[in-house]
A = this chain, B = another copy of it.
Amino acid sequence: MSETAPRNRVAPPKVTLNDVATLAGVDRSVVSRVINSDPNLNIRPQTRQRVLETIDKLGYRPNAAARSLRTSRSFMFGLFIPDFANPVYAEIIKGAEMAAGSLGYGLMTASSGGVRLARHHYVDSLAQGRVDGMLFAGDESGHELEQFRALPLPWVLVNRRVDGSRRYVILDDERGSRLAVEHLIGLGHRRIAHLAGPETADTARRRRAGYMAAMSAAGLPADPRLIAHADYTPAGGTAAMTALMSRDERPTAVLVANVASAVGALHAAHEMGLSVPADVSVIAIHDMSLASHLVPALTTVRMPLSELGRRAIEMIATRAPEDDITEIVTDPVEVILRDSTAPPGPLSR
Contacts and interface: CB of A to CB of B under 8 A. Distances in A.
Contacts of A5: 164, 166
Nearest to A75: B125
B101 A93 contact: no
Contact residues on A (Cβ < 8 Å of other chain), bracket: 35 or more
A129 B9 contact: no
Interface stretch (A28-36, A317-325, A330-338): A317-325
A8 B74 contact: no
Contacts of A128: 61-64
A49 to B, nearest CB: 22
Given A90-B84, A98-B115, A106-B122, A129 B8 contact: no
Nearest to A264: B293
B61 A65 contact: no
Nearest to A127: B61
Interface in A245-296: 263, 289-290, 293-295
B64 A293 contact: no
How many copies the complex holds: the figure is 2
Interface string A128-139: 111000000000
A220 interface: no
A176 to B, nearest CB: 20
Interface stretch (A50-58, A148-156, A182-190, A191-199): A148-156
Contacts of A129: 63-66
Interface stretch (A10-18, A202-210, A222-230): A10-18
A242 interface: no
Interface of A: 5-12, 14, 61-66, 68-69, 72, 74, 76, 83-85, 87, 89-91, 93-94, 97-98, 101, 106-111, 113-115, 118, 122, 124-130, 149-150, 152-153, 164, 166-167, 263, 289-290, 293-295, 321-324
Q: 8 closest A-B pairs (Cβ-Cβ)?
A: A108-B108, A84-B90, A97-B113, A295-B295, A65-B69, A85-B90, A65-B68, A64-B129
